[in-house]
Structure formats: structure tokens, C-alpha cells
Amino acid sequence: MWCCTSSLVYLRRSIRLRLCSRRGRSRLPLWIRETWAYMRLLVQSLHFNSLTDSDVVFDSVFEPVFLTVDYITRWFGAVFVCLVVILTSSIVVIAYAVLLPLVLNTYSPAWIVWHLCYGHWNLIMIAFHYYKAAKTSPGYPPTEKNDRPFVAVCKKCIIPKPARTHHCGICNRCILKMDHHCPWLNNCIGHFNHRYFFSFCLFMTLGCVYCSISGRNLFLDAYNALERFKHMDLEKPGIPVTGMGPLIGLLPSGQTIYQTPAPPYTFRDKMIHKSIVYMWVLTSTVGVALGALTVWHAVLISRGETSIERHINKKETNRMAKLGKVYKNPFNYSRLNNWKLFLGVEKRSHWVTRVLLPSGHSPNGDGLTWDIFPVNKDVIPV
């Protein structure tokens, strides 16, 4: 009995070993099995829970494209900053080298004082706010453990996210009250530099409009002069003299071409007119494009929301409308209060010292906690 049992156990083990050996020989290579397992995991992740929708599928499919764009934007940020500095500096050089002498020679003393005061004030405001917007940190949530309230956990940073905080793929970290990542500043626009960014856009737009309007007549004169120069360059330098010309001594003997005099313009005149045309075209183009962006951000500030929150609030409004309810932005404190909080205006004199003059004051609050659904009264009585 014992011998039969041991024989059956031995037979079963030998059969199992043979089957395992055959199965091992028929296995696919390791890299194919790993790739297949990864693909199965991706497919399963798309229907992991009931919260998956078309946006999740879209983000998953286009994730490589988003990563490529973020990588390019991150490394070309310095190039964009240099481009802004070069273009702005070129306009300033043209204004001092070309326009200022014309203003001093042709305008009345009152207009000269106006152009000098406004032009330099606008230039100072542009330079100050651009530097502060590019160099000021937008604000980051704390990474250590704390008792601050939060609304979610960032799936990339794996840290708690306070209200109005969003993750920036280019900076690769969470930003307090994030509006967007600006490649022209090579910096994120968040709680602590949002005012600098908007002020830079506003004063740059005003400067471009100022140059475009005040230089319109100069642009037309320069453009017409360049057209005349172009036609004069196409003319021949001499005209043939025929008939009685050689006989009456109009030309020396042996010369049959009458040389026209040198043109009345120089290379310097050409460059001056081209500079005026370049300045007007650049400032007009930037004024229109940047002006539209400035108006858009002014509307968002009046509503108490950022660019990202605009999309979130619109989606929530549609969702609540389907349920027969009305969605209200919890961070909208009325139009005037939104501007007071954004600009940091706490008393009447701040409209001048903090808005019309360069000011490095910090924004209201720390960006970690926010008052929601306030009563309808002045948050900052001014």
C-alpha cells in the first residue's frame, strides 16, 4: 500500500515538471510581457472608477503632447524674456535717438513737458512691473505638515492643495491662486505676482497706444518718404544727350551721358525713416494684441476669478443649471471689492501710491485661506 502511494506521488510530480518545462519554453520574451502588462494597466485605468469621463480619456491620450509642450516652454522661457527686453529696448532707443530731437525742435514747451513726463513715467512703470512679475515668486503651498485647511491632494506633488491652488506642469509644482504660466515672463502668475503681471500688461498697452497715436503722422511721412526713395533708386544715374547737345558744347568732347546730381537723401535719412516705420508697426501690433489680453484679465478680476477658475466656474454653472440651481462664485466679493483686494487698496491715498506709482506691497492675505460667500459690503472700506 505504501509503495503504491509513493509511486503515484512520484508520477504526479514528474508530469507536473514536464508541463512546467513545456510552458516555460513557450513563454514570450520578458520585454513583450512587460509591455503587454503596461498596456493592460493603461486600459484598466481608463475605467477604474465612475468618475472617469471624456476629459480624463483626453488627458490620458494627449499626455505625451502636453509633456512635450511643457518641456519646450520651460527651456525657451529665457529666450522669450530676452526677446521682450530686446524689443522694448529698441523702441526706447528709437524714441530717444529719433523722436526726442523732433519733439524738441517742433513742439511747443507745454507739449514737450507733457511728452517727457508721461513717456518717462510710463517707461518706469513698465520696467518696474515687468521685473517684479518675472522675479517675484507666485507662492507655493507648504510641503511640511500643518493644520491649514485644504480642498484636495495634488496627484503629482502628493501634497495638500489649499483652495484656488493648481499644479503647473511647466514649473512642476503647485501654485497658490494660479492664473497661468507666462512664457514671456518665464514665471507662473500666482497670488504674489498677479498684480505685477496685470500692471505690466496695462502700462505696456498704454505705452504702445501712446507711441502709435503720437507717431501716426511721423509714420505716414516716413512711409511716403521711403516710397519716394525707392522710386528714385530705380531711376538711371544719367540720361543720354543726343541731337545738338555735343555740337553746342553742352558736354565735353567724347562724353555722351549727362550725370544727374547726387540724391538729396543719405543713408542716415533712410535709417531714420525705417526706424519710425518699425516702431509704429511694432507698437500698434503689440498694443492691439496685449490690449485684448489686458481687457480679458480685467474682466476676470472684476468677477473675482482667475483664468483657470473661469473654466471651472463655467463647468459648475452648467452642471448646477441642469439640476435647476444657480451657481455662485464663492470668491466674488463684488466688482469694487475685487479690485480693492487685487490692488491692495486700503485707503484713498493708495489709489495713487500703490496704483499710479511703483509699489512693492504684498497682496491681501497669504493665499492659503480665503473667505467665501462674504456679505454684500465693503471688504476694505475706502
> Which residues are marked as active site?
182
How many Cβ atoms are within 10 Å of 376's Cβ, its own excluded?
A: 7
Q: What are 371's three cell numbers?
A: 473667505
SS3 175: strand
Q: Helices marked H in the chain — which ranges?
A: 2-25, 30-46, 54-61, 63-75, 77-94, 100-106, 109-135, 194-214, 216-234, 267-303, 307-322, 335-343, 350
Instruction: Using alpha carbons only, give the angle 77, 285, 88 rounded to the nearest 5 degrees.
Output: 50
**Contact in structure between 158 and 261 (CB atoms under 8 Å):** no
How far apart, in whole angstroms, are the C-alpha atoms of residue 254 and residue 246?
Answer: 9
How many Cβ atoms are within 10 Å of 27's Cβ, its own excluded?
A: 9
Helices 63-75 and 54-61 meet at what angle, rounded to 10? 60
Q: What are 212's three cell numbers?
A: 502709435
How far apart, in whole angstroms, are the C-alpha atoms of residue 298 and residue 198?
Answer: 8
> Residue 95: what residue type?
A
How far apart, in whole angstroms, are the C-alpha atoms of residue 115 and residue 101?
Answer: 12
